[in-house]
Each structure stands twice: as structure tokens, then as C-alpha cells.
Amino acid sequence: MSERAPAPFGVYVHVPFCAARCDYCAFATWTDRAHLVDAYLEAMEVDVRRAVEAGMPAASSVFVGGGTPTLVPASRLATLIQSIPLGAGAEVTVECNPDDVTPAIVETYAASGVNRASIGVQSMVPHVLQALGRTHDPGNVERAVAAVRAAGLPTFNLDLIYGAMGESDADWRTTVLRALDLDPPHVSAYALTVEPGTALADDPARHPDDDVQADDYELADELLAAAGLANYEVSNWARPGHECRHNLLYWGRRDYLGFGCAAHSHRAGRRWWNVRTPERYVEAVRSGRSAEAAGEELTPDAQRIEGLQLSLRTRAGVPIDSLDGNALPGLVERADDRWVLTRRGRLMANEVAIRLR
């Protein structure tokens, strides 16, 4: 009798340093903390070691996000990644800024076990990038993809954003088609969202139009599907076998540990998050204290509903008895014993989710 495979377990690593802050960004990132890079990476290594000593399982997926992971020395980041125990065939992703990527950096990542890159493209049209507060050159996206392929990474993702002020239908089509020219195995496309406290939030004239974004989404879905990338979550498309396993772990409400400031964790129905600033994180680890800032215990019913909400966003859908799909014509369709969102339903996923029972 064969042994049962271990349950998926994820590790998230947060690198909060950036060269510039994008106008729409509300993440825990800083542009003036470069002097903390060494101390911060050392603290994360200590934090990981303590978690391993406390029995942290081998990770089935690791995701290094930020911030801008490619801004810190690749060799130091590689050392941190190598300190994380990995299960057989683990997926290890690093978010990459196109302007930072060089063949040497990606080769260093690959040697440490990284086998997936997520490249922050956002747009391939210069004036749209400027409207988003992005600084990279679209040509660097092509060079980054070439470096990822040359290093032998088996898969990668291109991150896109639609809905910026001044982005025309033709601009968005150009971005999607130029991304597809690079033959990506995975594409994420997100609607520009106005987050409190951002430069975008402070300028209502630049806020996106919902109807325009709906048209953008439908165009992206048509173009990506025609290129062989299937939608498997509202904002994610992939070729078969190239779905992001780390994100699937989140959407499946599996367990994961987050390392670094503001990183979130989830174990057995309890969710918690670390102190927000890198200084406080370094101080907590150095003093031997937990970096946890706060947490919450989810009731069984809250866990059930959250699980349905997350599953609804994926192509797995939800069980028939969890939703009156007949009352939502055009928004869901039946697939065997489950309700799955249609393209129009994906645009209204939050409205459908409130009908879950």
C-alpha cells in the first residue's frame, strides 16, 4: 500500500524594498530602507531556522514577493531560499522587476532551486506605464523573459494590469498581444484597484471606469483563450500544467507560513500576520520574540464560507447545494455536480459570492 502524499504546505517570503513606489501600491513596501537589507535578510534566515526547528513541514511551494525581490543581492536571496526545506518537486517562485533581471541573477536563482519567475509587466505601452507610476522599459520585459528561458526555468508568469487612466482599447490589446508574443505559459491580469492611502486614491480623475475594465477583461479572456491559456481563476490563465501551485494552495485554504514584515500565515483555521515595518520585524527576531502582530481564529462556519468563496473564483466552482444557480442565469453554469462561473459571472464574482449558503 503506497504512502499518502503529504498535504500541500506553502511558504511566503516578503521582501519590502523598492526603488520607487507605484501609484496604485498599498503593500508593505519602502523606498528608503536600503540600509536595512542585510539585517532584514539575516532576520528572515533566523526566523526560518526557528520555524524549521519547531517542526515546519517541507514546503510544496515557496513564493518570494514584495516589494521588489530582485532589488536585493541575488546571492543573499538564494541563501535564504536554500534554508527553506522543500518537498519533492516543490514550486519556487520569485517576483521579478523587468528592469532588474539579468542572466546572472536568474542563474543564481535557478541554482538555489527557483523554478518559476513572475515578471511584473503591467503594460507594454510606455504612456500607460507612466500613468501607473511604473518606471520600467517595455523592452526589458523581452530581455527578462529571454534570461528566464536561458537559465532553464521551466515556467514563468507575466503580470498585467488594466484600467489605467488614458489606456485605450488599442493600448490594452497591444499589451496582451505583445505579452502573448513572448509565448508565456501563465498570465495574470488584474483590474486596477483604488486602494486607500495611495497616490491613485488621492487623484479621483485617474480612477478606473468599471465598464471599461469589464470590456478589457473580456478582451483579455478572448485573446488568452485563443492562444491556449485557459482561465483557472478569475484573474489567472495558464497552459495545462503551468497553473501556479502556490496560489492554488491559497485558494484551497491550505496551510502556509509567511516570513518577513506584514507577511500572513494560516494554520488549521487560524490566520495571523506579522508586524508591518522591517525595523520592527528585525527587532522582534533579534530579541527572540514572535514577529506576530495580530491574528484571528475562524469558526468552522466562517472557514466553510471562505472556502466556498475562494473555490467559486476558480474553475473548480462550488457544489450544487451551496448556491441556487438557477436564480443566476448567465452568471453560473452547471458542470456535473458543481456550479462554475461563466465569463460574465467572473466579472460579478463578488455579487455571486454573497448568494453562497
E strands of the chain, at which residues? 9-15, 59-66, 86-96, 116-122, 155-162, 186-191, 230-233, 236-238, 255-259, 264-267, 270-274, 292-297, 318-319, 332-335, 338-341
Task: Report the percent of the chain where pLDDT is more than 90.
Answer: 92
Give 17's strand partners.
30
Residue 243 grid coordinates: 497553473
Cα gap 118→337, rounded to integer Å:
34
Q: Which of 64, 72, 62 is nearest to 18 (CA)?
A: 72
pLDDT at residue 4, rounded to an integer: 72
Query: CA–CA distance from 173 to each of 215, 217, 238 (Å)?
Result: 11, 11, 18
Answer yes or no: are the C-beta atoms of 24 and 208 closer than 8 Å.
no
Instruction: Using only the alpha carbons of the chain, give its radius of gyration.
Output: 20
pLDDT at residue 85, rounded to an integer: 98
pLDDT at residue 135, rounded to an integer: 74
pLDDT tops 90 at residue 67: yes
pLDDT tops 50 at residue 241: yes
pLDDT tops 50 at residue 101: yes
Lowest mean pLDDT among 113-117, 131-135, 197-201: 131-135
Give the global pTM.
Answer: 0.96
pLDDT at residue 3, rounded to an integer: 60
Q: What is the mean pLDDT of residues 98-121?
A: 97
Residue 63 neighbours by CB distance under 10 Å? 26
pLDDT tops 60 at residue 2: no
Q: pLDDT tens-digit profile of 273-302?
A: 999 999 999 999 999 999 999 999 999 999
Mean pLDDT, the chain, whole residue set: 96
Residue 89 grid coordinates: 518537486
CATH code assigned to 9-250: 3.20.20.70
Answer yes or no: are the C-beta atoms of 117 and 153 closer than 8 Å.
yes
List the domain boundaries for the chain: 9-250, 299-357
